[in-house]
Amino acid sequence: MSEHILLTGGTGFVGRSLIPKLLLGGHTVTVLTRQQKPDLKEVKVIHRLPQGTKADYWPYTVVVNLAGENLFTKRWSTKQKQTIRDSRIALTENLVDNIHKSQCVKRFISASAIGYYGARDDETLNEQGKAGSDFAATLCKDWEAAAQKASVSTDVICLRLGVVLGSGGALENLLPPFRLGIGGPIGHGKQWFSWIHIDDLTNLIMACVEGQISAPVVNATAPQPVQNRDFAKALGHCLKRPAILPMPALAMKLLLGEVSSLLTTGQRVIPEVAQAQGFSFRYPDIDSALTDLLEKRK
| pLDDT band per the 50, 70, 90 thresholds, residue 53 | low
Neighbours of 219 (CB within 10 A): 31
pTM value surpassing 0.85: yes
Position 252 scores a pLDDT of 83
Label residue 217 by pLDDT band (50, 70, 90).
Answer: very high
DSSP 3-state of 1: coil
pLDDT for residue 55 is more than 70: no
298 has pLDDT over 80: no
More confident residue, 10 or 41: 10
- String of b and e for 141-164 (b: at least 16 CB within 10 Å)? bebbebbbbbeebbbbbbbbbbbb
Which whole number is the average pLDDT over 172-181? Answer: 91
CB-CB contact of 105 with 63 (8 Å): yes
pLDDT at 222 over 70: yes
Does residue 282 surpass a pLDDT of 90?
yes
DSSP string, 216-281: SEEEES-SS-EEHHHHHHHHHHHHTS-----B-HHHHHHHHGGGGHHHHSB-EE--HHHHHTT---
* φ and ψ of 105, to 5 deg: -85, 125
Task: Specify whether the CB–CB gap between 208 and 27 falls below 8 A.
Answer: no
Whether residue 57 is predicted with pLDDT greater than 90 in this model: the reply is no
Split at pLDDT 50, 70, 90, the class of 56 is low
Cα→Cα distances 26→22, 63, 83, 210, 228, Å: 7, 16, 35, 11, 39
Return the closest-CA partner of residue 213 out of 129, 281, 147.
Answer: 281
Q: Report the C-alpha gap between 69 and 134 in whole angstroms.
A: 18
**60-91, pLDDT tens digit by residue?**
999 999 999 888 888 999 999 999 999 999 99
% residues pLDDT > 70 (the chain): 98
pLDDT in tens, 150-162: 999 999 999 999 9
Domains, in order of start, for the chain: 4-296 (3.40.50.720)
Q: What is the mean pLDDT of residues 39-68?
A: 86
Whether the pLDDT of residue 54 is over 70: the answer is no
DSSP label of 116: G
- What's the average model confidence in pLDDT over 126-142? 97
What's the rounded Cα separation, in Å, for the pair 5 and 60?
6
